[in-house]
C-alpha cells in the first residue's frame, strides 16, 4: 500500500469535538481555517461534519433539538479523524502511514466515538442513581476490539471506505491488533461475552479485573513441544484504555491489627501499594449504552523509591518496593509451586477485591450524597464473583464497613450477605481454592480475623439447623461445611460439645445402673466387662474433632463464597445438579433457596455476526431480517428450511469459503498444507487431562495405524479425508499437559510427512491459541470435539460457538453438551462415553483391579511405545493410563474406558460425512438449535434472578 503523508491543516472532523468535549467539558476548541484558538465556557466547531449537519438541518431531516452526538459520521469525517490521530496522538514516527500506525489511529478514532456514549451512559446512571451490577473476574479474554467496536456502532462500512481512501484495507488494519492478554480460557471469554450482552441489553453494569502486563504467556511450538515466552501485547500501547490517574486506592499487605478505643480495629504497618484504574469502554450493539471494564494496575508512591540507596549504588534495594508492587500485575496465574508464587497469587486476588470494593463504595457514597444509608447498599449494588478468585470480596467488604465506615459486625455481615453472589465454574478439587491459613494470616491478618468470625457464624447456623441431639451428624456437618479446615473449633463451641458429651456419658452410665439384672445368679467379672464394652460401643459418643498436626490448616474459599453470599449458581444444568448434589450438598440441604442454574452463553455478535459474515448473510436472508443477532430465537426459523436444496447449497458454499481461509491460515502459522475438501475436525481449548486431548490424539493414532495396514485403495474406501486441528495452552508447570502437546506435535510431524497417507489425514497443532485464532477456525470447522470425562466440565462455551456456526459436535454428556444435544436433536450430535453418574463406580472398579482394557486401546499404546513417532520417551504418558491406583496412574480420566466407544462413534462420523446432504442438514439444525446459547439470554436470567436490575435505556 502507498504511504500517505498527512498535514494537520487538512483535518476536519466532528470526532474531535466529541473527544475534547468529553475530556474537557469547560474547554472550548475552535478552528478557523488552519489555526486553532481556545476559549472557555462556549463550544463550537466548524467541520465537514457540521457542514453536512447544517445541510441536513436546512433540508428538515434533523431537528434543532437533535444533539450533536446523534450525528452518524460518514467515511469522509472518519478519514479526517484517522488523519488527526495519526499526527496528533502519535505512537509512531510522522513519516509514513504503515499498517501499525493505521491501526492505532483507527482505534483511537473509534474510541472517540465510544467515549461520548460512555460518558453519557454513566452520567445518566449517576443522575437516576440506578442499581448496578459489578462483575469481578480475574480473567477477561476479550480478543481484538476494533471490528467488534465498529460493528456494534454500525460503522463497519464507513470505516472500510475511509481506510480504503487512505490506502489500506480494513481487514489488514484489524489484523495489526494484538489480542488483549487478560485471560486464558472459558472463564475469561465468558466474562467478555457477558459485558457485550450487558451493554447490548442496556443493563447498568461494570466489570473489574487486573491489567496484566504479560498475560499468561505466548506459546511457541518447537521440536521440544511447548515453550513459553512473555506475551508482548502492550508493547505498542493499548489504544482502547484510558488511564485514570485520579482514580486510585491504597491496598495493604502484611502488618498487624491493633485495637483502638472502644474496640475499633486498625490494620497498621506492612506493605502499602496503590491500585490505579485503567478504563476500557465496552459498546453495546445498536445502542448508545457503553459500559466500562475497569482494570487495576499496581504501583507505589514515588517516595518509596530509595534515592539514598540508589546513589550509593545499591540499585536493587532502591527500587525493590516498586518492583514488588508492579509484579502483582505482571502475569496471569503466576506459578504457585513455590511460597513466593502462592503469595503473589493471593496478592493479585486481594488487589482485585480491595481496589474494586473501595471503588464501588466510593461510587455509592457519591451517588447517595447527603442521603447516605448503608442499609440500602444491597438495593443499589450487586457484586458477582466469577469463580472463587474474588472470594476476598466478602471479608474485604466487611472490613471496610466496620473498620472504615464504623458499622457494627451485625450490620456489616447482613449487608454483605445481601450484596455478594458467587458463580461456581468447576467440580475439580484443585479449582475449589484452599489457601494456607498461615500464609493468609501473614499477608492479610485483619481478613483472617473476619473469616474466623464468619466461620463462627456459620458454625452457629449449622448447630441451629441440625441441633445437638445427634453429635455424630453435627460434627460431620461441621467437618464438611466449615470455612476453616483442620482448625480447632471456637472455644465456646468446643465447650458446648464437651458438655453434651459428658451428659451423654452420664446418661449411658445411668442406663447401665437401671438395667441391673434381677437374676439370682450374678454375672462373672468377665461377663460384666464384656457387657460394658458392648454398651459403650453401642452408645459411643464421637470425640470433638481435633486438628491433625500433620496436615495443613486451610481456608476453604468456596465454602466462604457460599456462606457469605446470597446466591450460588452453576453454569449448565448438569453442572448445577452436581453442585447441589455433590460439591455443596450440605449447603444445599441447609439453604436450597440460594442455589440456581445459569447456563453459559456466548455473544452472537462476535461469534457469528462478525467472525462469519458469509453465514450471517445466509441466515439473515432465510430468517427474513437481522433480528437474530439480538433475538437468537429467530434462528429456529432455519429448521423449516433444513431440507431446502437452495439453502443447503448456499450453506455448503459458505462453509467451503471459510475452510479455504482456514487452510491459508494454517499454512501461514504452521507451514502445513491441507486440503479444504477434507473434513475439518477441531479441538481447541485449554490443554488439561480432563478435557482429554489425549483421547483425541490416541484415536487419531489408531486411525493412522489402520491406514498403514491397508492398501491405497482400501484406505480411500475406508476413511473420509480429515484435517485434525488442535490448539490450546498447557499451564507452564503442568507437566502432563505439556507431554500431551508434545505428543500431538510428534504425531503430526510423522503423519503429515507420510507420502502413503497424503491428504487422507493431517494433524496440525496451532500455536498460541487465542480469541482471534478461534474466530478464524470456528467458521471453517465441521466437526468439533468436546470429549471431557463426564461430570468434570462445568459447561464449556466453545461448544456453543461451534454449534452456532453450523459445526457438528462429538462429545460426552457433560457440561452444556447435554443441553446442546437436546436443542439440536439427538440425531445431530455424536454421543459416546460413560455418563456422569457412572464415573465414581468406574473408578472404584478400576481400583479393585476389575477393569479390562479394550484390545484396540492396548494396540495403540504399544504402537506409541514402538517409537514410530520419534525418539521421545512416552513411557510416563502411556503409564498414566495403566495400573489400578497411585498418583499419575490408573487412568483417572477414563481415557481407556471410553476409547472403544469413541472410535466407534468416529466411524459414525465418517458415515454421516459421506452423505453431504445429510451432513449439511445436521449443520443447519445445529445453528438453528443454538438459539438458546446466547449470552443475552444468560444475562437476562442473571439480571432477573440474581442481581435484580432492570434495563436502563438512555434518552
List the catalytic residue out of 106, 797, 920, 938: 797
List the catalytic residue out of 425, 606, 703, 846: 425
Cell numbers found for residue 820: 446442546
Strand partners, 590: none
**CA pair distance 43, 55, nearest whole angstrom:** 20
**CA pair distance 397, 561, nearest whole angstrom:** 13
**CA pair distance 815, 813, nearest whole angstrom:** 7
Beta-sheet pairing, 265-268 with 830-831: unpaired
Quick check: is 289 catalytic? Answer: no
Quick check: is 617 catalytic? Answer: no
DSSP 542: P
Residue 689: count other Cβ atoms within 10 Å of its Cβ: 21
Specify the 3-state DSSP secondary structure of 701. Answer: helix
Quick check: is 31 catalytic? Answer: no
List the catalytic residue out of 691, 703, 738, 861: 691
Quick check: is 786 catalytic? Answer: no
HSE-up (13 A, CA, CB side) for residue 518: 1
Ramachandran assignment for 656, one of left (phi > 0), alpha (psi -120 to 50 degrees), beta (any other): alpha
Quick check: is 837 catalytic? Answer: no
Cell numbers found for residue 602: 456466548
Quick check: is 127 catalytic? Answer: no
Asked if residues 355 and 296 have their Cβ atoms less than 8 Å apart, the reply is: yes
**CA pair distance 249, 351, nearest whole angstrom:** 10
Asked if residues 599 and 819 have their Cβ atoms less than 8 Å apart, the reply is: yes
Specify the 3-state DSSP secondary structure of 205. Answer: strand
H-state helical runs in 382-444:
393-399, 409-417, 437-443
Asked if residues 159 and 78 have their Cβ atoms less than 8 Å apart, the reply is: yes
Question: Can you give the length of the chain in residues?
Answer: 955
Cell numbers found for residue 663: 487452510
Specify the 3-state DSSP secondary structure of 385. Answer: strand
List the catalytic residue out of 685, 738, 932, 937: 685
Residue 77: count other Cβ atoms within 10 Å of its Cβ: 25
Nearest partner of 393 among 361, 428, 432, judged by Cα: 361
Q: Classify residue 686 by burial, with Cβ atoms within 10 Å: 0-12, 13-18, 19+.
A: buried
Q: Phi and psi for 178 in degrees, rounded to 5?
A: -75, 150
Cell numbers found for residue 129: 442513581
**CA pair distance 836, 843, nearest whole angstrom:** 12
**CA pair distance 328, 268, nearest whole angstrom:** 21
Sequence-separated (6 or more) residues with CB below 8 Å from residue 621: none
**CA pair distance 604, 619, nearest whole angstrom:** 12
Residue 955: count other Cβ atoms within 10 Å of its Cβ: 6
Beta-sheet pairing, 271-283 with 27-32: unpaired
Nearest partner of 282 among 121, 165, 440, judged by Cα: 121
**CA pair distance 587, 124, nearest whole angstrom:** 40
Cell numbers found for residue 859: 494396540
The order of strands in the sheet holding 420-423 is 242-253, 271-283, 290-299, 205-210, 132-136, 381-386, 420-423, 567-570, 595-597
List the catalytic residue out of 801, 821, 843, 846: 801
List the catalytic residue out of 686, 703, 786, 861: 686
Specify the 3-state DSSP secondary structure of 168. Answer: coil
Strands (E), 732-889: 761-766, 783-786, 808-811, 830-831
Annotated active-site positions, please?
425, 685-686, 691, 797, 801
Amino acid at each position: 500500500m502507498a504511504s500517505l503523508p498527512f498535514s494537520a491543516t487538512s483535518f476536519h472532523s466532528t470526532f474531535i469535538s466529541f473527544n475534547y468535549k468529553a475530556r474537557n467539558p469547560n474547554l472550548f476548541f475552535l478552528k478557523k481555517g488552519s489555526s486553532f484558538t481556545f476559549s472557555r465556557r462556549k463550544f463550537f466547531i466548524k467541520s465537514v461534519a457540521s457542514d453536512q449537519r447544517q445541510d441536513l438541518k436546512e433540508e428538515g431531516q434533523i431537528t434543532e433539538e437533535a444533539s450533536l452526538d446523534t450525528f452518524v459520521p460518514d467515511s469522509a469525517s472518519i478519514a479526517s479523524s484517522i488523519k488527526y490521530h495519526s499526527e496528533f496522538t502519535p505512537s509512531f514516527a510522522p513519516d509514513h502511514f504503515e499498517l501499525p500506525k493505521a491501526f492505532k489511529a483507527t482505534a483511537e478514532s473509534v474510541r472517540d466515538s465510544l467515549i461520548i456514549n460512555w460518558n453519557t451512559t454513566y452520567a445518566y446512571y449517576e443522575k437516576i442513581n440506578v442499581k448496578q451490577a459489578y462483575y469481578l473476574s480475574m480473567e477477561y479474554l476479550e480478543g481484538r476490539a476494533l471490528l467488534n467496536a465498529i460493528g456494534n456502532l454500525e460503522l463497519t462500512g464507513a470505516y472500510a471506505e475511509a481506510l480504503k481512501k487512505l490506502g489500506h484495507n480494513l481487514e489488514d488494519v484489524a489484523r495489526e491488533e494484538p489480542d488483549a492478554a487478560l485471560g486464558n480460557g472459558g472463564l475469561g471469554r465468558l466474562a467478555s461475552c457477558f459485558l457485550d450482552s450487558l451493554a447490548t441489553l442496556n443493563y447498568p453494569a461494570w466489570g473489574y479485573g487486573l491489567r496484566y502486563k504479560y498475560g499468561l504467556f505466548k506459546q511457541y511450538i518447537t521440536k521440544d513441544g511447548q515453550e513459553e515466552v512473555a506475551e508482548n501485547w502492550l508493547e505498542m500501547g493499548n489504544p482502547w484504555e484510558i488511564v485514570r490517574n485520579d482514580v486510585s486506592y491504597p491496598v495493604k499487605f502484611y502488618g498487624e491489627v491493633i485495637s483502638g478505643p472502644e474496640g475499633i480495629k486498625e490494620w497498621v504497618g506492612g506493605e502499602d501499594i496503590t491500585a490505579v484504574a485503567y478504563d476500557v469502554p465496552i459498546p453495546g450493539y445498536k445502542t448508545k449504552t457503553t459500559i466500562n471494564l475497569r482494570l487495576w494496575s499496581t504501583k507505589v508512591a514515588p517516595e518509596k523509591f530509595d534515592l539514598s540507596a540508589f546513589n550509593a549504588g545499591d540499585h536493587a534495594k532502591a527500587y525493590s518496593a516498586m518492583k514488588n508492587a508492579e509484579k502483582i500485575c505482571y502475569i496471569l496465574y503466576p506459578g504457585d509451586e513455590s511460597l513466593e508464587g502462592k503469595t503473589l497469587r493471593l496478592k493479585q486476588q486481594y488487589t482485585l477485591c480491595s481496589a474494586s470494593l473501595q471503588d464501588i463504595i466510593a461510587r455509592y457514597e457519591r451517588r447517595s450524597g447527603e442521603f447516605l444509608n448503608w442499609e440500602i447498599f444491597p438495593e443499589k449494588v450487586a457484586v458477582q464473583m466469577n469463580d472463587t478468585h474474588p472470594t476476598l470480596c466478602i471479608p474485604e467488604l466487611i472490613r471496610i464497613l466496620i473498620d472504615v465506615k464504623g458499622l457494627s459486625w451485625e450490620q456489616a455481615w447482613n449487608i454483605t450477605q445481601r450484596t455478594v453472589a458467587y458463580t461456581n465454574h468447576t467440580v475439580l478439587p484443585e479449582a475449589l481454592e484452599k489457601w494456607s491459613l498461615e500464609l493468609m494470616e501473614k499477608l492479610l491478618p485483619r481478613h483472617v480475623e473476619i473469616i474466623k468470625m464468619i466461620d463462627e457464624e456459620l458454625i452457629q447456623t449449622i448447630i441451629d439447623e441440625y441441633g445437638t441431639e445427634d453429635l455424630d451428624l453435627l460434627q460431620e456437618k461441621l467437618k464438611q461445611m466449615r470455612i476453616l479446615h483442620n482448625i480447632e473449633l471456637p472455644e465456646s463451641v468446643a465447650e458446648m460439645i464437651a458438655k453434651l458429651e459428658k451428659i451423654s456419658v452420664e446418661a449411658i452410665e445411668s442406663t447401665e445402673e437401671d438395667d441391673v439384672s434381677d437374676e439370682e445368679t450374678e454375672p462373672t467379672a468377665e461377663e460384666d466387662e464384656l457387657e460394658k464394652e458392648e454398651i459403650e460401643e453401642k452408645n459411643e459418643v464421637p470425640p470433638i474433632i481435633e486438628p491433625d498436626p500433620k496436615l495443613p490448616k486451610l481456608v476453604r474459599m468456596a465454602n466462604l463464597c457460599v456462606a457469605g453470599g446470597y446466591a450460588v449458581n452453576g453454569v449448565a444444568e448438569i453442572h448445577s445438579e452436581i453442585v447441589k448434589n455433590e460439591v455443596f450438598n450440605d449447603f444445599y440441604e441447609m439453604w436450597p433457596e440460594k442455589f440456581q442454574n445459569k447456563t453459559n452463553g456466548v455473544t452472537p455478535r462476535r461469534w457469528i455476526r462478525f467472525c462469519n459474515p458469509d453465514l450471517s448473510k445466509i441466515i439473515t436472508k432465510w430468517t427474513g431480517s437481522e433480528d437474530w443477532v439480538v433475538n437468537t430465537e429467530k434462528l429456529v426459523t432455519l429448521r423449516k428450511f433444513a431440507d431446502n436444496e437452495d439453502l443447503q447449497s448456499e450453506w455448503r458454499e459458505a462453509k467451503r469459503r471459510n475452510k479455504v481461509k482456514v487452510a491459508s491460515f494454517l499454512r501461514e502459522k504452521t507451514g502445513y498444507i491441507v486440503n479444504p475438501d477434507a473434513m475439518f475436525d477441531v479441538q481447541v481449548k485449554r490443554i488439561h487431562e480432563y478435557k482429554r486431548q489425549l483421547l483425541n490424539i490416541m484415536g487419531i493414532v489408531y486411525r493412522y495405524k489402520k491406514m498403514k495396514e491397508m492398501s491405497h485403495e482400501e484406505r480411500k474406501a475406508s476413511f473420509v479425508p480429515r484435517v485434525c486441528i488442535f490448539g490450546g495452552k498447557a499451564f507452564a508447570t503442568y507437566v502432563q499437559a505439556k507431554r500431551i502437546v508434545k505428543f500431538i506435535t510428534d504425531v503430526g510431524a510423522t503423519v503429515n510427512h507420510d507420502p502413503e497417507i497424503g491428504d487422507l489425514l493431517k494433524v496440525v497443532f496451532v500455536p498460541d491459541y487465542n480469541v482471534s485464532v478461534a474466530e478464524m477456525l470456528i467458521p471453517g470447522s465441521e466437526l468439533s470435539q468436546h470429549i471431557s470425562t463426564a461430570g468434570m466440565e462445568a459447561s464449556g462455551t466453545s461448544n456453543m460457538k461451534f454449534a452456532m456456526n453450523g459445526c457438528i459436535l462429538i462429545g460426552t454428556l457433560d457440561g452444556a453438551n447435554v443441553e446442546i444435544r437436546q436443542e439440536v436433536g439427538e440425531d445431530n450430535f455424536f454421543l459416546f462415553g460413560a455418563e456422569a453418574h457412572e464415573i465414581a463406580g468406574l473408578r472404584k472398579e478400576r481400583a479393585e483391579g476389575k477393569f479390562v482394557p479394550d484390545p484396540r486401546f492396548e494396540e495403540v499404546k504399544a504402537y506409541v511405545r514402538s517409537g514410530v513417532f520419534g525418539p521421545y520417551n512416552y513411557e510416563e504418558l502411556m503409564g498414566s493410563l495403566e495400573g489400578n491406583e497411585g498418583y499419575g496412574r490408573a487412568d483417572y480420566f477414563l481415557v481407556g474406558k471410553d476409547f472403544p466407544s469413541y472410535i466407534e462413534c468416529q466411524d459414525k462420523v465418517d458415515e454421516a460425512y459421506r452423505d453431504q446432504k445429510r451432513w449439511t442438514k445436521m449443520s443447519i439444525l445445529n445453528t438453528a438449535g443454538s438459539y438458546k446459547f446466547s449470552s443475552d439470554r444468560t444475562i437476562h436470567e442473571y439480571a432477573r434472578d440474581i442481581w435484580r436490575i432492570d434495563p436502563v435505556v438512555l434518552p
